[in-house]
Structure 1
């Protein structure tokens, strides 16, 4: 068996590598992000809390898997004491959200969570939120199935 000269083998290897890079670049160029704008979401207000509007951006309340729930709470609005069966992580996107833990509202025992901050509401732990200083927008994430159980 006759061996190809080293130079020919290196050229073939280089061409194969470049072809792979070009092909992978072509495939990557075909993938386009599809943003979901909040305005495109289906917003709803729970009957018991008209000051709140929410939209499932990823996943759903009863569909197994991760979810993102976007929430808007108008200035002065409150979501009364409640629990969830799963741990929720809340990121405040704008405004300051005041969070209290416990089965009763106690305005002296709230924690201010400013825009950019995150807080955790462990599964089954009663908590409530308040847009004390102005409108607040936040996003909750967790793993469904989930639910919200009001304590009153």
Structure 2
């Protein structure tokens, strides 16, 4: 499945179609220090997001930046569609599976990326510094925590 995602992302026809569906009408530059960061309520408290292009609640490709504080965990969860994450600043731990276990994951550095297939259970964390990532995915985007008690939309403060 992972190889299929990478092949699809490497296909120029798919990439051109995805970019076309972004419906960007004018050239835009995005600078980390000038983004309109908002609290990201689908993630544990402390995360912020800045939407660059597209709309995560609608069909189609979107791009968003996510900012996480130091020592920040996101419990095991899945997404309905594939996604690609690129670390822009800091370090991001990434683990696969249904149980949060840093020992079974790896830490990615600024410039590193990973792709996830749809409905693939995973978890992430930051190290001792603020981390910013870029998320490219297809909407409508969603996040389903494997343990509903971890979902901040249910009142969880974990």
Give structure 1 stretches of 5+ with no counterpart: 1-31
Tell me the TM-score normalised to structure 2 length. Answer: 0.70
Q: Distance in 2 between matches of 1:103 and 1:140?
A: 21
Equivalent position of 1:85 in the other structure: 80
The 5-angstrom pairing of residues 3-152 of structure 1 reads 33-38=27-32, 39-41=34-36, 43-46=38-41, 49-152=44-147
Displaced runs of 4 or more, over 6 A:
none
Q: Distance in 2 between matches of 1:110 and 1:125?
A: 14
RMSD value, Cα: 2.0
Deviations 1:25-73 (CA, angstroms, capped at 9, x unpaired): xxxxxxx733244534351232661121112211122221110121111
Q: Distance in 2 between matches of 1:33 and 1:119?
A: 26
Closer/same/farther in 2, CA of residues 42 and 93 from structure 1, 3 Å limit: closer
